[in-house]
Amino acid sequence: MKPSPTLCHRVRFTTKQVGRGFYRGTRTGAMGAHTEWGGYLIDWRRVRHYNVPDLKDFKLTPFVTSEMDPTPRWHRTETGEKTEPKLVDGIEYLWDWKNKNYQEYDEIIQYQAEQARSLVQEPATTGNGSAEDLMVAEPSTAEATSEKAEPSRSVNP
């Protein structure tokens, strides 16, 4: 096979042909220059400008339904005061999940309790086949009282 002149020519890489770390950018360079006092002067000839169409009778719309009411930014309390809605973090989400799905949560706790009981009832082996290997390990009284007082839970919200 004889390579054609186009095959012999080194073609520039694209971002899909090389791994991470190869950023081609937009080849625009700096948008200005640094001053000797630490400031930055913007050269407005190098800044990109976009022409926005007249939005008065604009036909294109974003992919948002027009049937949905706008989401209010502020909520009114029973006393009529404006309040900002509270943000939800992960712990509050887990508490809410626990309160609304208590059947599923109880099954998880029961499963974990069964697993703990099976681990306690397994024979403690020394590995030499003696009578000690056949004894069933029983929890101490301190462990038994702590398990009754505070069952273990998988989610600690």
What pLDDT is stored for residue 126 in this prediction?
A: 55
Residue 2 DSSP label: -
Distance CA 15, CA 126 (A): 60
Residue 130 lies in a domain: no
pLDDT in tens, 138-151: 555 545 444 454 55
Q: What is the mean pLDDT of the chain?
A: 73
Residue 139 lies in a domain: no
Q: Give the global pTM.
A: 0.24
Residue 137 lies in a domain: no
Residue 145 lies in a domain: no
Residue 95 lies in a domain: yes
Query: Based on the structure, what is the number of domains in the chain?
Result: 2
Residue 49 lies in a domain: yes
The residue range of the domain holding 95 is 84-117
Residue 143 lies in a domain: no
Question: Would you list the DSSP string of 73-126?
Answer: SSEE-TTS-EEPPPPP-HHHHHHHHHHH-HHHHHHHHHHHHHHHHHHHHSBP--
State what percent of residues in the chain have pLDDT above 90. Answer: 10
pLDDT in tens, 41-55: 999 998 888 888 888
Average pLDDT over residues 27-45: 90
Cβ(42)–Cβ(31) under 8 Å?
Answer: yes
Residue 113 lies in a domain: yes
